[in-house]
């Protein structure tokens, strides 16, 4: 059973998947930083609020003015639309970047397919026959 597990765990697909998950986690941190440090400040400059994650709508109960989302959830029933907006923007950015990566990869594949392949190197026998032909012409 240990051998079967080793064969499974060391297959190329499993290792590739693990690498993809690790790179995806790192990519997620980059996107979170891009959204939190670049896009959200620009959007909040237009709207006038700096932190979207604490924007919410009280559905039932009462919340002290200026309370954060976590405190508001403890005190009342709230709709955390600001946090949802942040996550939706994260998703949109990730989807757009992945679309651009796939589009770029497809463009590279098309360029490789369209590029004329170099003729294969003649074999030793073909070279010898070419030399013989050239000598016979002389």
Return the domain boundaries, the chain. 2-115
The pLDDT of residue 110 is: 84
99 contacts: CB under 8 Å, gap ≥ 6: none
* Alpha carbon separation from 124 to 3, 30, 131, 137 (Å, rounded): 46, 54, 11, 20
Q: What is the pLDDT of residue 87?
A: 82
| The pair of three-digit structure tokens given for residue 87, joined into one six-digit string | 């996550």
Comparison of pLDDT for 46 and 9, the residue scoring more: 46
* Mean pLDDT, rounded, of the chain: 82
pLDDT exceeds cutoff 70 at 20: yes
Q: How many CB atoms lie within 10 A of CB 34?
A: 16
Q: What is the mean pLDDT of residues 96-122?
A: 81
- Domain 2-115 in CATH 1.10.1200.120: yes
Residue 51 has pLDDT above 70, yes or no: no
């Amino acid at each position: 059973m240990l051998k079967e597990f080793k064969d499974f765990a060391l297959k190329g697909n499993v290792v590739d998947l693990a690498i993809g998950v690790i790179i995806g986690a790192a990519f997620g941190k980059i996107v979170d930083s891009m959204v939190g440090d670049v896009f959200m400040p620009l959007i909040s400059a237009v709207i006038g609020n700096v932190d979207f994650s604490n924007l919410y709508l009280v559905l039932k109960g009462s919340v002290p003015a200026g309370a954060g989302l976590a405190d508001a959830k403890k005190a009342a029933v709230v709709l955390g639309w600001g946090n949802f907006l942040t996550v939706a923007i994260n998703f949109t950015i990730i989807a757009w970047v992945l679309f651009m990566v796939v589009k770029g990869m497809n463009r590279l594949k098309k360029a490789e397919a369209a590029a004329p392949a170099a003729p294969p190197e003649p074999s030793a026998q073909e070279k010898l026959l070419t030399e013989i032909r050239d000598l016979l012409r002389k």
